[in-house]
Amino acid sequence: MLELTARQIAEAADAALRRDAHDPATFPAAVAIDSRRAGDGALFVGIPGERVDGGAFAAEVLAAGAWGVLVRPEHADAALSADRGAVLTHEDPVAALGALARAWRHRLGATVVGITGSVGKTSTKDLLRAIVGPHRRTVATEGNLNTEIGLPLTVLGAPAGTEVLILEMAMRGAGQIAELARIAEPDVGVITNIAPVHVELLGSIEAIAAAKAELLHDLRPGGTAIVPADERLLDPHLPQGVEVVAVGADPGEVPADLQLAGEVPTTVRRNLPAAVAAARAIGVEPSGPIVPEISAMRGQRLHLPGDIVVVVDCYNANPMSTSAALDDLASSAAGRRVAVLGDMLELGPDERRYHAELGAHARDRGVELLVAVGPLSRHTGTGFGQGVQWVPDAEAAARLVPTLLEPGDTVLLKASRGIGLERVAEALRAGSR
């Protein structure tokens, strides 16, 4: 429950209160941006979209039981025509949502950890939640709620009494991490790494480093910045007035008695030093066995008949993360190594070279069969050489791959999210029933 009255919400969001709640002392049960989920006492924020302005559903959600609505002024009359519910207006509902989240962050008084990076931010968040959760009342980003809309929803979904907020921060352009940091006001900022992701939009790896470093400049005074030890691109951006903790792959950075229980991918374990450093920065000393819940499509293993193992790691991909996944395949596969690699998107003018180099890396790491998926992955196949089969899209891969596998194979599925390579996993799972 968001323990703020309509008047307090209006003040926090700099919104106009056009009508108070029927009972001015009541609070919204939740905050929603989907009109289909805005009943049962929620505050519905009508976000303008490319095709539809969510504010157009204001009267409908109020009639369905919403506590109130926050919409553009042009939707006020329709909202007021409903005979119940608070009505608030703001020219920019997204900005109002962020301001409201910032106010709730202050009301909570929780310690906030912001996590960004080119690779591994979700896995680092998952590990940190597992370490801190047993010791502090913790709320962490779920799914892909890591944008200028998703992050405020995560903050506003944290109940009173929350002690730690772990917030993943994504970006596709300059200034976006800064916007999220202004909302979250982190006490601890974690940058997992810098890699050529979104080069197409930002122009250079140096620009990517600068964009990620925006997180560090909005840390609270006396906060902690956790950065990769070997990343010189961040050196010009390290702020004054905060503690800087550099972490790497040194096993000594992780307590000897800290054990990851369950099937945790090696590519996830590499993020443990940063998670340990973040836990220590908020006063939690990691120890004992922890059982992280790894987010979907981040290296989960699907076990099929015939001792076939499918590594479903297709939420996203770039040269760094895909190379790491191939290294993990090389070290963990007991039988034949099969890689299904799709296009890595937004790599800029060097995209062909990155794909060709990845194909060569797959060959060098002992991949025996490569299925290349998508137009850019033709270059992956060129780098790999003999033993590659190319298909144009994930649908074709889903038809082909099940016909190629043999008992004992370990299969890696890795591609950018836009390729939809999870369809191959679905086909393999369906075929095993």
- Per DSSP, the residues of 302-358 read EEETTTEEEEE--S---HHHHHHHHHHHHHH-SS-EEEEEEPPPS-GGGHHHHHHHH
My answer on whether 186 and 284 are in the same domain is yes
Is 97 a member of any domain? no
**CB contact at 8 A, 33 and 149:** yes
My answer on whether 114 and 262 are in the same domain is yes
> For 68-82, 257-271, 326-340, 399-413, which range has the lowest pLDDT when averaged over its residues?
257-271
My answer on whether 129 and 188 are in the same domain is yes
Q: How confident is the model at residue 39 (pLDDT cuts 50, 70, 90)?
A: confident
Cβ within 8 Å of residue 178, ≥6 positions away: 214, 215, 217, 218
> For 242-251, 302-311, 387-396, 406-415, which range has the lowest pLDDT when averaged over its residues?
242-251
State the DSSP string of 109-178.
Answer: T-EEEEEE-SS-HHHHHHHHHHHHTTTS-EEE--TT--STTHHHHHHHTSPTT--EEEEE---SSTTHHH
Is 101 a member of any domain? no
Residue type (1 letter), 148: E
My answer on whether 279 and 380 are in the same domain is no
pLDDT at 50 over 90: no
pLDDT at 400: 96
Of 61, 91, 121, which residue constitutes the final position of a domain? 91
pLDDT at 94 over 70: yes
My answer on whether 276 and 156 are in the same domain is yes
Residue-wise pLDDT tens digits, 238-247: 998 899 999 9
Of 115, 58, 110, 103, the residue nearest 84 (C-alpha)? 58
Number of domains present in the structure of the chain: 3
For residue 62 the two structure tokens come to 């109020």
pLDDT at 278 over 90: yes
Domain hosting 284: range is 109-290
My answer on whether 268 and 324 are in the same domain is no
Average pLDDT over residues 404-433: 90
Distances (CA, A) of 9 to 35, 61, 151, 302, 383: 19, 18, 18, 46, 57
Q: By percentage, how much of the chain surpasses pLDDT 70?
A: 98
The CATH number covering residue 159 comes to 3.40.1190.10
Of 91, 123, 154, which residue constitutes the final position of a domain? 91
Of 290, 314, 332, which residue constitutes the final position of a domain? 290
Q: How confident is the model at residue 108 (pLDDT cuts 50, 70, 90)?
A: very high
My answer on whether 64 and 188 are in the same domain is no
Is 174 a member of any domain? yes
The CATH number covering residue 341 comes to 3.90.190.20
Q: How confident is the model at residue 300 (pLDDT cuts 50, 70, 90)?
A: confident
Is 421 a member of any domain? yes
Average pLDDT over residues 121-146: 93
Average pLDDT over residues 121-139: 94
My answer on whether 286 and 304 are in the same domain is no
pLDDT at 419: 93
pLDDT at 298 over 80: no
My answer on whether 307 and 261 are in the same domain is no
pLDDT at 161: 95
Coil, helix or strand for 300?
A: strand
Cβ within 8 Å of residue 216, ≥6 positions away: 189, 191, 225, 227, 237, 238, 239, 242
Residue 189 exposure: Cα atoms within 13 Å on the Cβ side = 33
pLDDT at 250 over 80: no
Q: By percentage, how much of the chain surpasses pLDDT 90?
A: 71
Residue type (1 letter), 168: E
The C-alpha atoms of residue 334 and residue 332 are separated, in whole angstroms, by: 6
Pairing of β 86-89 and β 16-19: antiparallel
What DSSP character marks residue 56?
G
Of 326, 25, 353, 3, the residue nearest 158 (C-alpha)? 3
Is 1 a member of any domain? no
The C-alpha atoms of residue 296 and residue 173 are separated, in whole angstroms, by: 25
Is 98 a member of any domain? no
The CATH number covering residue 33 comes to 3.40.1390.10
Give the number of other CB atoms < 10 A from CB of residue 365. Answer: 18
The C-alpha atoms of residue 254 and residue 258 are separated, in whole angstroms, by: 7
Does residue 291 or residue 279 have the better pLDDT? 279
pLDDT at 264: 74
The C-alpha atoms of residue 323 and residue 256 are separated, in whole angstroms, by: 27
Q: Max CA-CA distance within the chain?
A: 72
Alpha helices in 203-313 (DSSP H): 205-212, 214-217, 266-269, 272-281
My answer on whether 264 and 327 are in the same domain is no
My answer on whether 340 and 231 are in the same domain is no
The b/e string for 233-267 (b: 16+ C-beta within 10 A; e otherwise) is: bbeebeeeebeebbbeeeeebbeeebebeeebbeb
My answer on whether 411 and 312 are in the same domain is yes
pLDDT at 252: 66
> Would you give the distance in Å from CA 356 to the centre of its chain?
27
Q: How confident is the model at residue 294 (pLDDT cuts 50, 70, 90)?
A: confident
Is 381 a member of any domain? yes
Is 167 a member of any domain? yes
> For 232-236, 242-246, 330-334, 378-382, which range has the lowest pLDDT when averaged over its residues?
330-334
